[in-house]
Homo-oligomer: A and B are copies of this chain.
């Protein structure tokens, strides 16, 4: 039973009619929420045959890019910008499926490394291809719309403190 109208556009009209303010922002924020829901569903559906979900795929991808195929759990959390306990959970599942192994850090006994197994490396490669096939769930958005969205959200992420405002100066760095 699909709706016969855009519920977010309808909400915007109501916002304006009631003088609630910031209707454009409300619309964009709600759209981002809904877009996230659509993407997650499409992506997880594409990953399901590979026994993965998006968060687990992201962790595997990160490991596959590292020199040794292994990273401390904490670093994974930093890069993926999720809570440490979420990393524990993610790695728990990947380990249970034999896609990664927990390995003690060679010098720091506090640290645990997640190390990609052969099986994990095969899975992440196949999964990446599957996601590329579905355009990461973004079907319906043009290249221009995609890049504009990416640019706008980069500004949001930067303002939220995800990364510093200025690219590090290379010519006048600390000597």
Chain A contacts to B: CB under 8 angstroms: 1-11, 14, 18, 20-22, 24-40, 42-43, 54, 58, 61-62, 64-65, 78-81, 128-129, 131-132, 135-143, 145-164, 168
Contact = CB atoms under 8 A, between A and B. Distances in A.
Please state the number of chain copies in the assembly: 2
Give the secondary structure class of A's interface: helix
26 contacts: A2-B163, A3-B163, A6-B157, A10-B79, A14-B61, A18-B65, A20-B129, A22-B136, A24-B147, A26-B131, A26-B136, A27-B150, A28-B138, A28-B146, A29-B136, A30-B58, A31-B154, A31-B157, A32-B32, A32-B36, A32-B39, A33-B36, A139-B156, A140-B158, A148-B148, A149-B153
Given A140-B159, A149-B152, 12 more contacts: A2-B164, A3-B162, A21-B128, A22-B136, A24-B146, A24-B150, A25-B146, A28-B153, A32-B39, A145-B152, A149-B149, A149-B153
A25 B149 contact: no
B155 A140 contact: yes
A81 B35 CA distance: 11
A34 B81 contact: yes
Contacts of A29: 39, 43, 136-138
A20 B132 contact: yes
A157 B38 contact: yes
Nearest to A10: B79
A3 B5 CA distance: 42
Nearest to A159: B140
Nearest to A153: B31
A15 to B, nearest CB: 8
